[in-house]
Amino acid sequence: MAAEVATARDQPVSVHRALKLVRRNLLAYKHFWIAFVSGFFEPFFYLVAVGFGVGQFIDDVSFVGAQIEYATFLAPGLLAASTLNGAIFDGFFTPFFKLNWMKTYDGIVTTPVSIPDIAVGEVVWATIRGTIYGTGFLAVMLSLGLIHSPWALLGIPAVMLSAGALSAGAMILTGFTKQISSLEKVMTLIVFPLFLFSGTFFPVSLYPRVLQPVVQATPLYHAATLLRSLTTGEVSPATLGHVAYLAGMLILAGAIAIRLMRRRLVS
């Protein structure tokens, strides 16, 4: 019996079994629909306050050579930032509690669902949620006149890619953390600086020259710039570079997350 469990949990990922975990999350989430619906509003409030409120005092901003209105600049940045928040919630907060407190995964690995299935299932779940939010926010942008190109249609797969890459990154954090105090540390030392300093609120060109490459190395910078290129129509070969960064991160971070989760669940 023990041997069977050991082989089951080490199985490589199967789409069918990973989707079982997605279904489990959906069932568990039914009770928290308020939290789900209210998640739409956070980026919207920021858009109103900063994009339109503060934006009235801001001249056009330059973005890859074009001059665009501040709200047009900010909105795709907030879209990317809300994808990050969703990824942290679904890829780190919830898995953190399942792993360390509720021991949900300890139960799951005794079934035919393997450890890679768990990691992939959580990332798929986070991606689905992120895509729903992102699509909603793109619709809000459209209704507010902040979308200036049909390229924005590709914004939906771009949000999917960003959500996948960021939540795979968030799963790495899950693999590293055990203490409840880590949540606050991760928020203050990783999530909050990314949110503020990834070219979301103001262009990278405003940073001192030495800091610009640092900003350009962050995943949120690539997600924000990719989405901004699509919604403004300023698409160039460099846009593919952002896609490649995020796709690479998804694969690499996913592989690391599976290894870390295995270390945590088999000991």
Partner 1 sequence: MSASDVVVRNGLVFWRGWRASFFLSVLSPVMFLSAMGLGLGSLVDEGQSFGGVTYLQFFATGILASSAMQSGVFSATYPVLSKIMWQRNYEAMLASPLSVRDILFGELGWGALTLTQLSVPFFVVMSIMGIFDSWTAVATIPVVILVGLSCAAPVFAFTATLQTDEAYTWIFRFIVTPLFLLSGTFFPIQELPAWGQVVAHATPLFHGVELVRQLTIYDIEPSALWHLGYLLALLGIGVTLGLRNLEKRLMA
CA 75 – CA 200 distance, rounded (Å): 9
Tell me if 189 contacts partner 1 by CB under 8 A.
Answer: yes
Tell me if 193 contacts partner 1 by CB under 8 A.
Answer: yes
Q: Which of 192, 217, 244, 247 binds partner 1 (CB under 8 A)?
A: 192
CA 171 – CA 254 distance, rounded (Å): 8
- Nearest CA-CA partner of 238 in 209, 216, 211: 216
State the binding string over 62-101 for partner 1 (x if CB under 8 A, else -).
Answer: --------x-------------------------------
Q: Which of 92, 96, 197, 221 binds partner 1 (CB under 8 A)?
A: 197
Close Cβ partners of 84 (under 8 Å, ≥ 6 residues apart): 166, 191, 194, 195, 220, 223
Nearest distance, CB of residue 129 and partner 1, angstroms: 16
**124 — alpha (psi -120 to 50), left (phi > 0) or beta?**
alpha
Alpha carbon 50 to its chain's center: 22
Residue 62, classed as helix, strand or coil, is: strand
Q: Which of residues 18-37 bind partner 1 (CB under 8 A)?
A: 34-35
Tell me if 247 contacts partner 1 by CB under 8 A.
Answer: no
* Contact footprint for partner 1 (CB under 8 A): 34-35, 38-39, 41-42, 45-46, 48-50, 53-54, 56-59, 61, 70, 181, 184-185, 188-189, 192-193, 196-197, 201-202, 206-207
